[in-house]
Amino acid sequence: MSEPASRYNAKESEAKWQAVWADRRSFAAGEDFDRPKYYVLEMFPYPSGRIHMGHVRNYTMGDLVARYKRARGFNVLHPMGWDAFGLPAENAALENKVHPAKWTYENIANMKAQLQSMGLSLEWEREFATCDASYYRHQQAIFLDFLEAGLAYRRESWVNWDPSEHTVLANEQVIDGRGWRSGEPVERRKLSQWFFRITAYAEELLQALGDLERWPEKVRLMQANWIGRSEGCRLAFELEGRDDQVVVFTTRHDTIFGASFLALSADHPLAADLAAKDPKLAAFVEQCRKTGTSEEAMERAEKLGYDTGLRARHPFDPGKTVPVYVANFVLMEYGTGAIFGCPAHDQRDLDFARKYDLPVLPVVVPADADPATFEVGEEAYVGPGKLANSAFLDGMTVAQGKQEIADRVEAEKRGNREVNFRLRDWGVSRQRYWGCPIPVVHCEACGVVPVKREDLPVKLPDDVEFDRPGNPLDRHPTWRDVPCPACGKPAKRETDTFDTFVDSAWYFSRFCSPRSDKVVDRDAVDYWMPVDQYIGGVEHAILHLLYARFFTRAMQQCGYVGVAEPFAGLFTQGMVCHVTYRDDAGNWLLPAEVERTEDGALVHGPSGRRVTTGRSEKMSKSRKNVIDPEDIIDRYGADTARWFMLSDSPPERDLEWTESGAEGAWRFIQRIWRLFAADPGRLRPSYGAMPAFGDSALALRRATHIAIQSVTADIEGFRFNVAVAHIYELVNAIHAFKPTGEAGDQWALGEALRVLVRLIEPAMPHFAEEMWALAGNDGLVCQQPWPAADAALLVEDTATIAVQVNGKLRATLELARDLAEDDARAAALADERVQRSLDGKSVRKVIVVPNRIVNIVA
RNA sequence: GCCCUCUUGGCGGAAUUGGUAGACGCGCCAGACUCAAAAUCUGGUUUCCUUACGGAAGUCCCGGUUCGACUCCGGGAGAGGGCACCA
C-alpha cells in the first residue's frame, strides 16, 4: 500500500470521472415519458473560440440545478448546443482568410473541450449548431409555415445602409451617423425586408407576463415597457379647403380643447402629397430623413416643424381651426403618423409651441389652483385635475373627459378608441452570408415564391469569396440561379439570410428531439416543454426572451408545440467582474501581468512600471481585466472554479473574481479531503441497527440534518451562496466533532460524511465522486438520491431566548422548547441581569414570543 | 425625462420575512507546529469607552408606525440598470 497522497489531485481525478460519466452515459435523459421531467437549460453560447468566466458561472449554476433535480428523482433534460451563425465568423473570414464554417466549427471543437473540462452533466448526444443544415432546414420549414399563416411578410422599410460595405447595419452598429467599421456616413434606404408579425401577439405577450411567476419581476417589467401598450383614441380632423382628413392618435383626448396645432410625420402621405407642390416642404422632408439614424442622434436633434399653411377644423369647436405642421419628431410607424399638439399638457408640444409661437391654453387645472389664473410656464402640466376651458367637459376629471370624448367620437363616427403598442414587427432580413438562407425565390412573372418543402434545405454555398465587403451570396456565380418553383422559368434566390435571433428563438424546442426528421417530435416536445429552468444573462431580457416567447406562440399556432410559453422559470445571473489595472502610461494590463513587490506595491511584471488599480468592472477584453477559465482549471481544477462561482455573491448579483477567493475554494476542497484521507473507511455505509448516541454524536447528527434542510431550501430558492455557507458550517461541525468513545460516534460521523459528499456533488462533482469512491462505496454519487432531513433532529429540546428590556438585549436564556408563556416570563424576570437593568422600575407589560424573545416594557 | 433596483464591518455577503444584526467566506492580528518558510491547527476580529466586569452607539441620511424596524410607511442622498421624440 502506497502512502496516501498529501493533497487531492484535482487534475487526475477530474479527467477520470469525466471519462466514467461519458462512458456510462450518466446524464442522458430517460426515454420514459411517464416519469416527472425537469428541463434545465442555460442560454447556449456563441462559438467565439474560448469560454469566458461568464460561461463558467452560467453553466455552473445550470449544472447545479440539473444535478440536484436528478438527485430528487426527476428525469432531467440538460442539453448543450451552439448559436453558431453571426457576423464575427464573417469578420474573421475577411481578416484571416478563413472560411466562416471552418472558423466556427473549429471554435466549437475548442469550446466543447473546455466545457467538457468543467465536468458539466450535459447530454452531449443532443448537441447541434444552428449553422448545421440539419438544424436550419427546419427553421426554413417553420418560415414557410409562418408565411402561410400570415406571420411572415415582406415590405419596404427604412434601413441603415453602409455604402462602402454594401450592407445594412443594425442601429447599434451606427455610431454618430457613421458605420462602426467603415466610418462612412450611413444612408437611410428603403429596402424590401422580411418581417415576423410579432405585433399580432402584442396583447397576449403582455398579458401572459402576469402568469410567469418564476420570472424575475425586472425582466417582466422590461418586456412590458418594451411592448408599450397605450390606450387612446383615433380622431379625425377635417381640413379647410380640402376633402380629406387628418387622423391622429392620442392618449390625451381629454385635452382636445387645448389643441393648438396638428403635426404630421415627414413620411406621412399628406406630407408627400403637399411636398410635391411645395419645394420648401420637399426640402424639409428630405432634411428630416437625413437627420440621425441612431436613437441618440434623434434625441439630440432639435424639434423642427414646417407650417404647411393648411388649417384643420377643431372637431368639437366649430369656430376654431389649428395650423397643420410637418414635424421631424413625429414617427410614421406609431399610431397614425399624425398628432394633435396640446402644449399646456405635453412637454414636447410645449417646446414646439414656444418655438413657433403657438397658443398655450391650459385645460386641466390642478385641484389646488384657481382655474381663472392657472397658467403653464416652462413646464407642461401633466398631473391630475379638473377640466376647464373645455365647453361640455368643464369640471370633469381627466378620466371622465377621456370617456366623454371617446363616446362622442365613436357616436359621431369621427374615430374610435384604439390600443396602440410600441412593439414593432420583427425585421429578420440580414444582408449577410453566414446565416440561415430565407427559402424564397424571386420570379419576374410570379413574384416572391416560397421554395418547395421537398427542396429544403436551401443550403449555403461553400465556395464564396470574402475579398470584398458586402454579401458574397449576391456575387456568387451560380447559387442565385434557380428555376421558379411556380412557373419553372429562370428566377433568383433570395440572398438575405435570417437574423441570428431567429436561430435562438426555437432551439430549446429542437433539443427535445434533436435528430428528428421533422421540425420537432410532438411527443417529445409535449413531454419536455416548457423549459422548467432557463438561466442566462439579463442582457437578453428583452430581445431574445421576447422573440422566443413570440416564436413559441407562433409554433403553437402552426401545430408544432402544445405550449405558448417556452420558459416556465427564468433566472438571470449577474456578471463576473474583476478589478482593472493600468500602468503610468494609461495602458490596460492583464491581471496576469501584474505583480506585487515586497513592499506591497503593484508593478507591471515585465517592465517594473507602477500600476494603479481601478474599480471592479465586468470582465472585458478592452479593459483586459480577464481571467481565462482554462488557466484556473489547469491550476486548481474545475471543482475549485465551480465552487468559487457559487460562493460569496448571490447568483443574480455581480461576482468579483479574486485570486484569494479562488485559493479559498481550493483550500476548502483540501480541508474536506483531509477528513476522508485520514480514514476512508469512515464513510462506508452502515446498515446495522442504529446505536445509542452520546451528546457529541447527537450534536453532529443535528448539524448534519440541519445542513440537509438548509442546503435543500437554499438550492430550491437559488441562494447558492447561502447553500455554500451552510456546507461550510457542516464541515466545521465535522472538524469540531470530538468522539467520546460511545457506540454512536462512528455511525454519526459516517452519516455526516456521506451527507456532505451528497450535498457537495452538484457543485463539485468530480471531487464528490472521488471521495465517494475513496470511502469504498459502490456506484456513482451523482446517482445517489438526495438525502432527507429527519424532522426529529431539526428541533432541539431547548431554545435560546433573548430577553429585552425596553427593546434592548439584556440577557439570553436557555429554556425548554415551547415553554409556557408564563414560565418564560417568570424566568426572564428572575434573571439577575434583567433585574439589574430594570433597576427597580415597575414592569408595565411583557411580550413573549415563544422560543424567540421576551421583551419587558418598564 | 420616464420606469426599476440597490445601499449592512477592512471586503463579498447572511439575517427563518417585524423578534439576539454581522452566519459563512476573504483579509487581518495573535498563538501552536517548524532551524525557517509554506501548508496546517487553535483563538480573536463592527465601532467607541473600560486593565477587566461591563456599558454606549451602530444596517446611507432625516422623520414616522410598533413592546420591538436592516425589514413596514413618508421625505431625501448616492450608486447601478432599462426605456427614451411612442403622441
Q: Which nucleotide is at minimal CA–C1' distance from A856?
A: B67
Q: Are A489 and A483 in contact (CB under 8 A)?
A: yes
Residue A603 CA distance to nucleotide B28 C1' (Å) = 23
The Cα A553–Cα A562 span in angstroms is 9
Residue A724 CA distance to nucleotide B66 C1' (Å) = 36
Residue A493 CA distance to nucleotide B13 C1' (Å) = 58
Residue A641 CA distance to nucleotide B11 C1' (Å) = 20
The owner of cell 370633469 is A396
Q: Which nucleotide is at minimal CA–C1' distance from A811?
A: B20
Residue A657 CA distance to nucleotide B27 C1' (Å) = 15
Closest of A430, A432, A438, A431 to residue A147, by C-alpha: A438
Q: Which nucleotide is at minimal CA–C1' distance from A658?
A: B26
The Cα A130–Cα A45 span in angstroms is 11
What is the pairing mode between strands A570-573 and A533-537? parallel
Residue A600 CA distance to nucleotide B28 C1' (Å) = 15
Residue A135 CA distance to nucleotide B61 C1' (Å) = 58
The Cα A590–Cα A626 span in angstroms is 7
User: Which three cell numbers mark A741?
Assistant: 468513545
What is the pairing mode between strands A229-239 and A415-421? antiparallel
- Peptide bond before residue A457 is cis, with ω within 30 degrees of 0: yes
Q: Which nucleotide is at minimal CA–C1' distance from A230?
A: B86
Beta strand ranges found along A648-747 (DSSP E): 655-656
CA-to-CA separations, A781 to A21, A207, A549, A670, in angstroms, rounded: 11, 44, 37, 19
Residue A761 CA distance to nucleotide B14 C1' (Å) = 23
DSSP state, residue A489: S
Closest of A665, A705, A689 to residue A796, by C-alpha: A705
Q: Which nucleotide is at minimal CA–C1' distance from A647?
A: B25
Q: Are A412 and A404 in contact (CB under 8 A)?
A: no
The Cα A198–Cα A431 span in angstroms is 21
Instruction: Please give the pLDDT value at position A797.
Output: 83
CA-to-CA separations, A201 to A274, A554, A560, in angstroms, rounded: 36, 9, 17
> Which bases of chain B come closer than 7 Å to a protein CB?
1, 3-5, 12-16, 19-21, 23-27, 39-42, 55-57, 67-69, 81-87
List, in sequence order, every residue forming a beta bridge with A427; answer none if it has no partner: A195
CA closest to B5 C1', residue: A218
Q: Which nucleotide is at minimal CA–C1' distance from A423?
A: B86
Task: State the CB neighbour count (10 A cutoff) for residue A107.
Answer: 21
Residue A224 CA distance to nucleotide B2 C1' (Å) = 14
Residue A649 CA distance to nucleotide B45 C1' (Å) = 22
3-state secondary structure A791-812: HHHHCCCEEEEEEEECCEEEEE
Residue at A357: amino acid letter: D
CA closest to B68 C1', residue: A807
User: Which three cell numbers mark A112?
Assistant: 466543447
Residue A798 CA distance to nucleotide B44 C1' (Å) = 29
The owner of cell 437578453 is A540
The Cα A568–Cα A219 span in angstroms is 13
The helix (H) or strand (E) run that includes residue A580 is strand A576-583
Q: Which nucleotide is at minimal CA–C1' distance from A808?
A: B68
CA closest to B27 C1', residue: A660
Residue A648 CA distance to nucleotide B57 C1' (Å) = 29
Q: Which nucleotide is at minimal CA–C1' distance from A253?
A: B87
The Cα A653–Cα A618 span in angstroms is 12
Tell me the per-residue pLDDT of A428-448, one tens digit each, with 9 for 90 and over.
Answer: 998 889 999 999 999 999 999
pTM above 0.90, yes or no: yes
Residue A660 CA distance to nucleotide B27 C1' (Å) = 9
Tell me the per-residue pLDDT of A762-803, one tens digit each, with 9 for 90 and over.
Answer: 999 999 999 999 888 889 999 999 999 999 999 888 888 999
Instruction: Please give the pLDDT value at position A754.
Output: 92
User: Which three cell numbers mark A322?
Assistant: 389649428
Residue A247 CA distance to nucleotide B64 C1' (Å) = 52
Q: Which nucleotide is at minimal CA–C1' distance from A724?
A: B24
ipTM of this complex > 0.85?
yes
CA closest to B40 C1', residue: A671
The owner of cell 472521488 is A770
User: Which three cell numbers mark A740?
Assistant: 467520546
Q: Which residues of chain A have pLDDT under 70?
A: 1-5, 170-177, 180-181, 291-301, 598-600, 679-688
CA-to-CA separations, A662 to A633, A647, A666, in angstroms, rounded: 11, 10, 6
CA closest to B16 C1', residue: A710
Q: Which nucleotide is at minimal CA–C1' distance from A650?
A: B13
The helix (H) or strand (E) run that includes residue A410 is helix A398-411
Q: Which nucleotide is at minimal CA–C1' distance from A671?
A: B40
Residue A123 CA distance to nucleotide B52 C1' (Å) = 65
List, in sequence order, every residue forming a beta bridge with A430; answer none if it has no partner: A497
List, in sequence order, every residue forming a beta bridge with A230; answer none if it has no partner: A420
Q: Which nucleotide is at minimal CA–C1' distance from A332?
A: B86
What is the DSSP track for A72-126? TT-EEE----B---SHHHHHHHHHH---HHHHHHHHHHHHHHHHHTTT----GGG
Beta strand ranges found along A471-559 (DSSP E): 481-483, 490-493, 497-498, 533-537
Residue A725 CA distance to nucleotide B25 C1' (Å) = 7
Q: Are A409 and A225 in contact (CB under 8 A)?
A: no
Give the CA-trace dihedral at A123, A126, A128, A132, to 10 degrees: 160
Exposed, middle or buried, A32 (CB in 10 Å: 0-12/13-18/19+)?
A: exposed
CA closest to B12 C1', residue: A648
CA closest to B42 C1', residue: A736
Radius of gyration of chain A (CA): 34
CA closest to B21 C1', residue: A809
The Cα A116–Cα A436 span in angstroms is 28
**Helices (H), ranges, A741-810:** 744-760, 765-774, 791-794
